[in-house]
Chains A and B, each alone.
Chain A
Amino acid sequence: MASNGIKDRVAIVGMGCTPFGEHWDKGPEDLLVDAATETYRSAGIDPAQVDAYWLGTMASGFSGLMLSEALKIPYKPVTRLENMCATGSEAIRNAAYAVACGAYDLVMAIGVEKLKDSGYSGLVGANPPNDGTLSNMTAPATFSLLAPAYAKKYGVEEDTLKQVLARIAWKNHKNGAKNPKAQFRKEVPIETICKSPPVAGMLGIFDCSGVSDGSAAAILCRAEDAHRYAKHPIFIKALSFAAGPAEGYYSQDYDFTTFPEVVASSRDAYRQAGVKDPRAEISMAEVHDCFTPTELVLMEDMGFSPRGQAWRDVLDGRFDGEGPQPVNPDGGLKSFGHPIGASGLRMMYEMWLQLRGEAGPRQIAQPKLGLTHNLGGAPGRCVSFVSIVGAA
């Protein structure tokens, strides 16, 4: 497999992110204008300088016109893309490759989603015309399958696992409480999390990420040009993506304690970045905590914890904001909600702040390498994105 990578060839020189939440007074176009304006300003550039755009949105709009009309971009390439919950990260990845190959000098990756206008609970997917045999399982139901499978495989008592999952939610809300852009900015006691109304399987309301609106964006250029735009650019070390063959939906071998797509994409990313020991070398990570068991399993799939040990690391506080390897220091999907097209860029925004020492009360001491991880689909059938970025 040739995944050659573009280590240190592309830099991010400006980023912006709207507050995430219930923007009753703003449509997706307004959120795009807000995020783009903040991002132009962050990079200190005039919109006319941007050569091309990548817009990620799952279902809040269609085609490049959604962005070009909102921002009045005059006759430039705008690509609209969708890759389920990893849509925002895909905007970054495709924009970065366009710069790396020399096709463009300065580009924008932007993501947006407006979920709160639907009036429904949870995420709602639109299917193409079909034969009526598609699964009726909701997202929390599919991810809830991880918990009992993990408990059984590693001999963890169900009560203990419940505590582990609650601690993940508690940690992410604790981090989010310090983030002015988060949807939920309150700490939540472990007892409240444990007692929340059931949604699916072992999962209560507090085991699920919220539903919100938001947008975030980045300006990218070749690494050698980075200092023309930013005093402290951040550099892309690795970009990896894996779409699975959905083996878990067909094969009886799959046991719901891992995402093979995440294992493949993180290994590829480590190879591109030259990371040998992710547990030691990755300073911090923004991962796809759509539901609490997802974050637990991700820690093992990405090599932050040995197999069967992540639950202990969670209880030991290894991934806490003040811990040795903070995970979701900005509060994660748990505190931000998950406006699909925006989440991947929101994760990168936290890397941007942390690597530049701008994360305020959440600042991690001298982070070297940061990782973002985005997942779309369900256990057994998903897409996974991993990026690694650094300040130098």
Chain B
Amino acid sequence: MPDWKEEVRSRLSRSGLAPEREAEIVEELSQHLEDRYEQSLASGAAEGEARRSALLELNEGDLLAHELRRVERPARRDAPAPGSPRNRNMFGEILQDLRYGLRTLRKHPGFTAVAVIALALGIGANTAIFSVVNTVLLRPLPYKDPDRLVMVWEDATRSGYPRDTPAAANFVDWRDQNGVFEGMAALADQSFNLTGMGDPERLEGKRASASLFQILGVEPLLGRGFLPEDDRPGGPRVAVLSHGLWQRRFGSDPKVVGRSLELNGQSYEVVGVMPQSFQFPSPEYELWVPIAFTQQEAASRGRHYLQVVARLKPGVSFGQAQAEMSTIAARLQQQYPEQNADLGAAVVPLHEQVVGDIKPALLILLGAVGFVLLVACANVANLLLARAAARQKEIALRVALGASRARLIRQFLTESVLLAALGGVLGLLLALWGVNLLKAFIPDSISQVRAITVDAKVLGFTLVVSLLTGLIFGLAPAMQASNFNLNETLKEGGRDAAAGSKGKRIRSLLVVAEVAVSLVLLVGAGLLINSFLRLRGVEPGFKPSNLLTMSAVLPQQKYPDHTRRTAFYDELIRRVEAVPGVKSAAIANWIPLIRQGDSTSITVEGQPPAEPGKEKMMVTRVVNPHYFQTMGVQLSRGRAFDESQDRADSPGAVIISETAARRYWPGEDALGKRLAVGRVESPDDWLTVVGVVNDVKQFQLDAEPRPQMYLSYKQAGFFAPRYLIVSTSVEPLSLASAVRNTVWSVDRDQPVSHVRTMEDVLSDSIARQRFTMLLLGIFAAVALLLAAVGLYGVMSYTVAQRTREIGVRMALGAQRRDVLRLVVGQGLKLVLIGVALGLVLAFLLTRVMSSFLFGVSPTDPATLATISLVLVFVALLASYIPARRATKVDPLIALRYE
């Protein structure tokens, strides 16, 4: 059979087709020849005859190549411009638009880079913050039906504690009397010293009701939870381990159930291990034991120390639960008027309890990144508008060729969505990196922090945001570009078309909006920075430099009485103070600014006992004599504690703070007055005020100091010291292991934990504020940068457009100064309108931030003024550069510019 392909190919040699296309044509044509050949044979022709008749089809071989060249060539040089009325096939058109868009973007790499980076910043910031919001606020808690879980608190609003930890007897009454909860479990803090296996370690754990795991609906990974018979005084000593503890101390031993543990000097049997996701109430708790109230404990309404979690019965609402609990609390008030005066009950959804602290901050940040994205959109819209103006001729041509308006809009939108998609991809990369950064900044107290990831929901969010972004910033330029008068454009000869008054107005408006939104962000950031600086400047009442702190809690079983504990601490202080580099050592039940501490009610001699619910409260610190000098707390009157004067058997002494002196002995000298802890049962209970010291911020820097008192650890047995504070003459952490070893030299089994410098404690206490401030600051800076770029773009563009006008002015004698004033003045006008608008917006919006502010009002005039000035300054700079370029215009050249 003849080789048709060869025949065809030889005749196409000069058609200059692309190889793939040529192969296709060759195949099709040879098939045709083959058909003709076969038909000739079938109608009785001889082989040679059939071959000739087939080849006759190819006669005028040159004609074939020539015709094909005519048909195929133009396509290879350039696809038909989108908008031309050919190929009306939706999918094909979109593909065509995409290809065309990509080519246009590639042709202007500078423009594309600026736009994509701006979008990536906006989209990336949104994705990063959304991934945090998604994890922390949107993802359900890792329990069964988590929306039916609540925390129940004592509502002691009258005493300043709207969510106070319940007393055991109240918990028991709540549990037994309510009809709204399926179950109710109590938890109490319990620290354990783990010994007998390697280095001693201090573990934070919880005593918990046996029903805890059922209420939360979480099955243990290994073994079992608690049985009702475990939760009984004198019941078996059993423990459930967290996943982390099981991994860390037991090497994930699958046979750990049944092993025994030495906790606080007593042996416990491991009965279960919880799954990794179980972190209740927060990740630092690694161990649970049955709460097993003693009879005495279960009857106590005076000590408030529990946390209560409960599960609503199906169909019961939070409101119903709250109403029922309030009724029970009111009944208990009547029943126990002394202890339960003014005491209500507060039902709080568990989710709100967990995320309540961080929620407002996250929402504000989400709003802020939304603003950043808006600014980025305005910016890119501006760039696109400028470019659309420059493309006016191209568009005119297409319209002349019959492109419809819808088709043009679609082409423009395709380009902007393409830009947004590129921005989205880059933004996602930024977000992946940013999320890791965020994890480092988010305060540890947000327990889910470790799980923050970019999941499908986040990806979906990014996709939607990117597409929306593309549509938003693409719409204005598309509408504008497609909505113009063909005649006018052609008449204007493309010279002035771009400065068409409408486009200019939109662009100016966008700049005004950018400036306004940036101003709001900057004001927000400014207020937070201002607050933070004030917070940092708060005098904590002690000197945090060169202080090393650590916790060493003595186990009750090993040190059951005051004498033994005192002996341990005496020896410890003596040895630590002998360590080279140590100036002095102190002990205290709590260190400041960790949001934990003991408070007690007092009786003041000569004053009537307080009514129930209105007791005189004192933040109570149990310390050694060196405490004040170690911490740098100043004695203002009287004396500090003294080894010889304040022994266990000496008359009781107390040192109080200035606020305590003023509050409880108003108008008198507190020195020498007497007070008692709780009620006075015997004359020995009276403590004499021997000194007054300055106030210390015991709980948080942004709260007013409460009355405080200090007791000597030798005289006050009821609050055991937990912390060791060492004042050093060298870098504090360099002594950490020396001091730890010293503790172990006194008791090999005594765990040491929470080793930190006091400066770290101070800085951690304002971590949340720092987090919010830093992020908002970064976002505001990005917005400012984008706004400046936007303004710069508009001004450069205006200058380019007005080159001829400027040339004329200069030819007519205008000075460079006049030109500068002309251009900068125009930029300034836009900025001032933007600032005015922004101030109004800021005025309306910064109110939502008032709970984040410290010492500054949301409308702080100084902040508003400073920020406005900063913005105006940046704007001046952004329009000065193009203005300078304008002054360099050579009138001759400008006039020839036609």
A, B assembled together: no
**Residues of A near any B CB (own CB < 8 A):** none
